[in-house]
Chains A and B, each alone.
Chain A
């Protein structure tokens, strides 16, 4: 599978602040890739480098097979970019914006434009500055979808939106997700869990992991062991176990490399036989909290 976005040792620093540290990322074509991480992790910086809005300090990024440093002009006819920070020309009316944009894209689909305007309830004759934040995001997304892009890049698209608008946006995206690759950044894990096919976790400029959602959720488990008597935590614990805690006869931890048989064998080796062992699947939120706490402890 070819990559829609690929980075190699991508770094960016602002004076002494290291915003991105040797980022190595690959977004497969057709994926819905979500780059998550806390505020200030470097998500927006990475996206700005992909879109050639910022220059990398070192390393390189390729977007749709093109060096991101050469992203300009015609290259944007294949990419739809939506950011919460974008300054849309607010003096225009909604219809005028579409009229204006139409001539820039050879692949602009007038029927799709009409359908998106209808789907997102966008008022053609209203000035953009009179629109709510949610409406502006819908407008930006509609304008980014109407030309059948190969790649949609969304930078914190759902931040501060009410659930209804968020669902409308996600629905609008997913209806056409088979047409393009979606790359989005977010710090709201619940909203991406339902539709992301791949996920990357960025923290302090470093990519902690990047993998398919199914693989991620499959390898994380919250393990709860019940023993007959109080069982203190031995030291050292296997490195794949996080947040291990002992409360009387109960031991809990997060297994980051869950394989039923192997995990059970490891538990037996560390603790001996247990009365009961429970392996609970984890939400994306729980996984990231565990990861974040681990790095916090480190």
Chain B
């Protein structure tokens, strides 16, 4: 322990400029954060210094500098270092470095998070465990990565080169499209992510301990690179399609969570001339979705299209990502699909069968409750502290500690306290909904605050991609329903749309993007 403290004190004496820099930047970061998020409470007559905008970039740089310099004060690489022939105990050395990181990195970040939590209106004590857990996340992301690089490189210059090299390696790999799993298969990437995580954590620990204990740089670098390669192999070797089929079992026709049928609605002429000889052709097929049980709703995680001609010949596309939420009331929507140009050119004018296989999640709504919108900021149980942004009243922004919980908010436009313009008055009786289905994380690595947004789109009767929905105002006195979405099952649903003449539904990419943006499908 004496040796640990002895090394710790020496490091503090040597690296006070780096420590001071990271502390100052952390303070500036907190100041910037509260000024931007809560300007009414943290107004300062000081004008915002332009370079303050760079603080979120400079802070990780300062941390990297601090961690690398601290580790490399007793560099583990090479054989010329003075310290290696002195009676250093490697566990003491490692502990001293970890103590330095705790004191100069973890503790300041912890206090910064306490401050940001308080500034956001939350008490610190009830969230103490969360703050500690949060430290674990920060340590595993920032500290572990920088620590590893510092252990395996000789000096700061080498560490920067290694960091850039690693970044290029990862970027290069992920941009190597044919190796990357289809984004549509992300819902079942958990298995490979978990395996990769285990490999990465085990290898990182092994590298650090081995390097501190024996300084076998060649060996530890090999382990490090092998671990990177292993995570890639895991990503590549994961049987995504098999996992997809297992996670989303096929639902029988009676058991399907919804029905989908072709809707007769001509599309009209495309707004822009079609692109010449594109790789893919985009189709926008009008469909009617119905049959969703009350109290439930459905989201589409991924979809796969198969086109079948009159002779029974089939052309199957890859799985692609899905989007949209379907509720119990009937939906008239456009199904946005993409087919290969070669298939399209071959079959565009003949009626074909379009078989759509969808990996869907069925949710059940639980714990229904209501809250009334108040002037300014107000607390909503489970959601945190909410408020509208004046003068723009279309968003109710809620902040909560660490994660924003999943929710479905409903609103009856007929009871709106501040309705929209007369020409945009809502018709029909459908409630408006705003859903947050995932658990949104923190605003940044440091801020312990997560935000969620309640935004109601008004579904006008004449809704079309060229006539997008308008936003509903949210005003004090409005009552908003709230419930918790719980996934009740994952299923695969197969829908047959026929007859479809593809050339009648072709759209240009701009219209496709526009349609997706307005959230049809």
Contacts and interface: CB of A to CB of B under 8 A. Distances in A.
Interface stretch (A82-90, A114-122, A170-178, A257-265): A82-90
A79 B85 contact: yes
Contacts of B90: 72-73
Interface string B69-91: 00001000001111111111110
B85 A100 contact: no
B478 to A, nearest CB: 64
B82 A48 contact: no
Interface in A73-97: 73-77, 79, 81, 83, 85-89, 91-92
A289 interface: no
Interface stretch (B2-10, B265-273, B294-302, B455-463): B2-10
Nearest to A102: B6
Contacts of B84: 53
Given A100-B6, A103-B3, A88 B82 contact: yes
A77 B87 contact: yes
B229 to A, nearest CB: 24
B89 A76 contact: no
Contacts of B80: 83, 85-87
Contacts of A88: 82
A73 B83 CA distance: 10
Nearest to B14: A91
Interface in A55-82: 72-77, 79, 81
Nearest to A73: B89
B6 A51 contact: no
Contacts of B85: 51, 53, 76, 79, 81, 86
A101 interface: yes
Interface in B1-55: 2-3, 6, 10, 14
A73 B87 contact: yes
A74 B2 CA distance: 14
Given A76-B87, A79-B85, A48 B79 contact: yes
A257 to B, nearest CB: 40
B2 A103 contact: yes
A209 interface: no
Nearest to A100: B10
Contacts of B87: 73-77, 104-105
Contacts of B3: 103-104
Contact of A53 (B6, B73, B79): B79
A100 B83 CA distance: 11
Interface residues of B, number: 18
A44 to B, nearest CB: 10
B88 A104 contact: yes
A73 B89 CA distance: 5
Contacts of A77: 87
B88 A73 contact: yes
B420 to A, nearest CB: 67
A85 B471 CA distance: 72
A76 B88 CA distance: 8
Nearest to A103: B6
Contacts of A74: 87, 89
B68 to A, nearest CB: 16
B79 A104 contact: no
Contacts of A105: 87
A146 to B, nearest CB: 12
A119 B335 CA distance: 90
A54 B82 contact: no
A106 to B, nearest CB: 9
Interface in A36-55: 48, 51, 53-54
A278 B84 CA distance: 53
B81 to A, nearest CB: 6
A137 to B, nearest CB: 13
A104 B82 contact: no
B167 to A, nearest CB: 29
Contacts of A87: 80-82
A100 B87 CA distance: 12
Given A103-B3, A103-B6, A86 B86 contact: no
Nearest to B83: A89
B284 to A, nearest CB: 64
A83 B80 CA distance: 9
Nearest to A104: B87
A104 B81 contact: no
Contact of A76 (B6, B10, B14, B86): B86
Nearest to A76: B87
A75 B86 CA distance: 9
A151 to B, nearest CB: 11
A103 B92 CA distance: 13
Q: Looking at B84, B85, B86, which has the most chain A CB atoms within 10 Å of its CB?
A: B85
Interface in A207-243: none
A105 B85 CA distance: 12
A207 to B, nearest CB: 22
**Which 5 A-B residue pairings sit nearest by Cβ, starting from the closest?**
A53-B79, A81-B85, A76-B87, A77-B87, A73-B89
Interface of A: 48, 51, 53-54, 72-77, 79, 81, 83, 85-89, 91-92, 100-101, 103-105
21 contacts: A51-B85, A53-B79, A53-B85, A54-B79, A73-B87, A73-B88, A74-B87, A76-B86, A76-B87, A77-B87, A81-B85, A87-B80, A87-B81, A89-B82, A89-B83, A92-B14, A100-B6, A100-B10, A104-B86, A104-B88, A105-B87
Interface of B: 2-3, 6, 10, 14, 73, 79-90
Given A87-B82, A103-B3, A104-B3, 11 more contacts: A53-B85, A72-B90, A74-B87, A76-B86, A85-B80, A86-B82, A86-B85, A89-B83, A100-B6, A100-B10, A105-B87
